[in-house]
Amino acid sequence: MRKSIVVLIVAVLAVAAGAVVLSLSAPVLDEEVEYRLTSLYYRGQEISSQVDGDEVLDLLEGASRGLISRGGLPAHSFRDMVEVNVVGGEEALHVVLSMEDGLFAVYQDPDWSYAIREGEALAAAVEALLPA
């Protein structure tokens, strides 16, 4: 009887710890690194010169991501996709925002992407900066 109670308590604590970790977040861009926009693609076309890069970086600095990797970057279409590429220090980051696919992710390596929290709001804010 005591052993089953201990096992139950350990299981409950493990579930609770997992829920806490899943609810935590980290900034999309490291606050201690200075980033610069290297390219911005919309619908497969490079449009960096048509967008205020500082405004895009400000939006990314205010965004957060989950702490747990969601695994590989899922397949996605390019019809409405925005891809923002930045470099900071020796780190290159890629942000993918696609309302159509419900894909809002940041990654360094496509095999390890992180979901962006409030991704729809970030995508809408970035799209508002894009040329008409």
- The DSSP string of 38-69 is EEEEETTEE-GGGS-HHHHHHHHHT-EEESS-
Place of tokens 């891809």: 83
At 64-121, the pLDDT tens digits run 999 877 777 777 777 889 999 999 988 899 999 999 888 999 998 888 889 999 999 9
Q: What token pair was written down for 18?
A: 């997992």
> What pTM was estimated for this model as a whole?
0.78
Mean pLDDT score of the chain: 85
At 56-67, the pLDDT tens digits run 999 999 999 998
Distances 55 to 62, 95, 125 between C-alpha atoms, Å: 11, 15, 10
Q: What band does 19 get if pLDDT is binned at 50, 70 and 90?
A: very low
Residue 42 CB coordination number (10 Å) = 21
